Chain A
Amino acid sequence: MRIIGQIALQRFAQIGRATIMWYTALNSMPRKSDLPLFITQMYSIGLKSLVLIVLSAFSIGAVLALQFYTQLVRFGAETTVGVGVAMVLLRELGPVVTALLFAGRAGSAITAEIGLMNATDQLSSMEMMGVDPLKRIVAPRLWAGFFCLPMLAIIFSAVGIWSSALVGVDWLGIESVGFWAGMLDNVEIWEDIGKGSVKAVVFGLIVSWIAVFQGYDSEPTSEGISSATTRTVIYSSIAVLTLDFFLTLVMYGDF
């Protein structure tokens, strides 16, 4: 019972530290002088994730087109492949898969970087120079994740739709006008693109928060950094998939 109590207290203390860190970091950006730090992180965690996002989106869009086509062609409804793929990508797969890939590519890198800075006393030395690492190190990464993930999710959906058109229209011979017109008629700005982007914004905040906190709170050993990096990917994945259910329930639920 005592051990359970200790573990519970440790978890509550961890959540408390994470919340304080989040609040302090989010309160401290963006200022004009911090812009270079923010841009550096946008490049590091956003632009450098782009290749992975584009390749994954291309593959997923192509596979979705194939799957939709094989089912819909039996009913002569193959022109609705476009709208089906667009709905799935914009509402679900775009934000969710982007967030999962982002956690694996950028989240783990953020955790490892901050964890190593912690283990080599770089964060402590920054504190001793009167520079707050929450503002200098944590905040730019949090804000960059917040801005990058929605943009990456939109790019993911766009590339996925394009690759589905390549497969559906150019290869399988679906009528081009029907493919695109169905999509344009049925996809709504707020319902599909807007709500999908809201999901991406929430996932961006959560994944970045988990990544920076795990790095900041990691044990200053090689094993500690390794565990923290693993935790970032696991916690982020669980958080994204769980939150996706509740966000879908809240935003689309009319049951």
Chain B
Amino acid sequence: MVEIDNLVYNRGDSVIFNGLSMVVPENRITAIMGPSGTGKTTLLRLIGGQLRADSGQIRVMGENVSKLSRAGWFELRKQMGLLFQSSALFTDLNVFENVAFALRVHTDLPEALIRNLVLMKLNAVGLRGARDLMPRQLSGGMARRVALARALAMDPVLIMYDEPFTGQDPIAMGVVVSLIQALNEALTITSLLVSHDISETLSISDNVYIISDGRVVASGSPEDLAANRSAKVGQFLQGLPDGPVPFHYPADDFINDILGATV
């Protein structure tokens, strides 16, 4: 579904990806994990065509995305869904209209059919009764579920989730975890999940990539990763504060810094 080969992407002077390669197979849940700031969200935006790679190749549904025109991108995106970390609901539209948005723009379906489709999507995320609420009236968990219903509105073949568990209470988190798994199985879609919530992500993923320093440092099934003895993988999976991934942002020596300021 998605093939990335030797991807290089820089933001200003910072190297975000330096030769990253990975494959996202069809009809599976693939997770991308890694410490904060490693470019997981950036990777989703590269796959979704909102950013352009400096070099390397990204193929989505067989299309070499670097060769797509603006119109070509908008056509391809009709088959993709992205659940944003911030939910990104349209604040001037209610829940129903948020979910109906893409259907109204891209199709000429009669109103009765749009209504049924939207209610089916909302029912799938348990929010059919919230159809008339405005986004400001929703809790964070509810907004995420509405955004999920909206991402599914056009029945995409690829759906990408950007930190779907962040900021969720345990009940909402459990709901989202089971929804992602159930939707992937029921709709036979390809799911790409970016997260650093280890146990939830590993519990539903078929494949996992761990990225750090702009590259893939480990990949495989959750069981493969559990057996991985790499220090970086171990630090990340066990949540250790310091290790190969340093706790501190690069800085001068602490003592010199403090004394230098008082002298």
Interfacial residues, chain A to chain B (CB-CB below 8 A): 120-122, 124-125, 127-132, 136
A231 vs B70: C-alpha distance in the bound complex, in angstroms? 29
A129 touches B90 (CB 8 A): no
Q: Mark B205-230, 1 if CB is under 8 A from A, else 0.
A: 00000000000000000000000000
A132 vs B73: C-alpha distance in the bound complex, in angstroms? 10
B88 touches A129 (CB 8 A): no
19 extra interchain contacts, Cβ-Cβ under 8 A, other than A129-B154, A130-B74? Answer: A121-B86, A122-B89, A122-B90, A122-B91, A124-B45, A127-B48, A127-B50, A127-B74, A128-B50, A128-B82, A129-B102, A129-B105, A129-B150, A130-B80, A130-B102, A130-B105, A131-B101, A132-B74, A136-B105
Given contacts A128-B48, A130-B106, contact A120 B77 (CB under 8 A): no
List B63-97 residues whose CB lies under 8 Å from chain A: 70, 74-78, 80-82, 84, 86, 88-91
Which of B80, B89, B91, B106 is A128 in contact with, Cβ under 8 Å?
Answer: B80
Chain B interface residue count, Cβ-Cβ cutoff 8 angstroms = 26
B74 touches A131 (CB 8 A): yes
B102 touches A131 (CB 8 A): yes
User: Which of A122, A124, A125, A127 has the most C-beta atoms of chain B within 10 angstroms of its own C-beta?
Assistant: A125
B86 touches A129 (CB 8 A): no
For residue B90, which residues in chain A have a CB less than 8 angstroms away from its CB? 122, 125
Number of A-B contacts (CB under 8 A): 58
B91 touches A120 (CB 8 A): yes
A121 vs B45: C-alpha distance in the bound complex, in angstroms? 12
A130 touches B75 (CB 8 A): yes
List B154-190 residues whose CB lies under 8 Å from chain A: 154
| Complex: chain A residue closest to B45, CB-CB | A124
For residue A122, which residues in chain B have a CB less than 8 angstroms away from its CB? 88-91
30 of the cross-chain contacts (CB-CB < 8 Å) are A121-B86, A122-B89, A122-B90, A122-B91, A124-B45, A124-B84, A125-B84, A125-B89, A125-B90, A125-B147, A128-B48, A128-B50, A128-B77, A128-B82, A129-B77, A129-B81, A129-B101, A129-B102, A129-B105, A129-B150, A129-B154, A130-B74, A130-B76, A130-B80, A130-B102, A130-B105, A130-B106, A131-B102, A131-B105, A136-B105
Q: Which 10 A/B pairs are nearest by Cβ-Cβ distance?
A: A121-B88, A125-B88, A130-B78, A130-B77, A128-B82, A129-B102, A130-B74, A121-B84, A121-B86, A131-B105
A20 vs B102: C-alpha distance in the bound complex, in angstroms? 25
Query: A189 to chain B: closest CB distance in Å?
Result: 42
Query: B15 to chain A: closest CB distance in Å?
Result: 20
A136 vs B80: C-alpha distance in the bound complex, in angstroms? 19
For residue B106, which residues in chain A have a CB less than 8 angstroms away from its CB? 130-131
Query: B12 to chain A: closest CB distance in Å?
Result: 11
Query: A7 to chain B: closest CB distance in Å?
Result: 15
Query: A114 to chain B: closest CB distance in Å?
Result: 12
A125 touches B105 (CB 8 A): no
For residue B50, which residues in chain A have a CB less than 8 angstroms away from its CB? 124, 127-128
For residue B48, which residues in chain A have a CB less than 8 angstroms away from its CB? 127-128
For residue B45, which residues in chain A have a CB less than 8 angstroms away from its CB? 124
For residue B154, which residues in chain A have a CB less than 8 angstroms away from its CB? 129-130
For residue B101, which residues in chain A have a CB less than 8 angstroms away from its CB? 129, 131
A120 vs B84: C-alpha distance in the bound complex, in angstroms? 10
For residue B89, which residues in chain A have a CB less than 8 angstroms away from its CB? 122, 125
Given contacts A130-B74, A130-B75, A130-B78, contact A124 B105 (CB under 8 A): no
For residue A130, which residues in chain B have a CB less than 8 angstroms away from its CB? 74-78, 80, 102, 105-106, 154
| Complex: chain B residue closest to A124, CB-CB | B50
| Complex: chain A residue closest to B85, CB-CB | A121
A239 vs B147: C-alpha distance in the bound complex, in angstroms? 41
A125 vs B101: C-alpha distance in the bound complex, in angstroms? 11
Query: B132 to chain A: closest CB distance in Å?
Result: 20
Q: Mark B101-138, 1 if CB is under 8 A from A, else 0.
A: 11001100000000000000000000000000000000
A52 vs B76: C-alpha distance in the bound complex, in angstroms? 45
For residue A125, which residues in chain B have a CB less than 8 angstroms away from its CB? 82, 84, 88-90, 147, 150
For residue A120, which residues in chain B have a CB less than 8 angstroms away from its CB? 86, 88, 91
For residue A124, which residues in chain B have a CB less than 8 angstroms away from its CB? 45, 50, 84, 88
A154 vs B153: C-alpha distance in the bound complex, in angstroms? 45
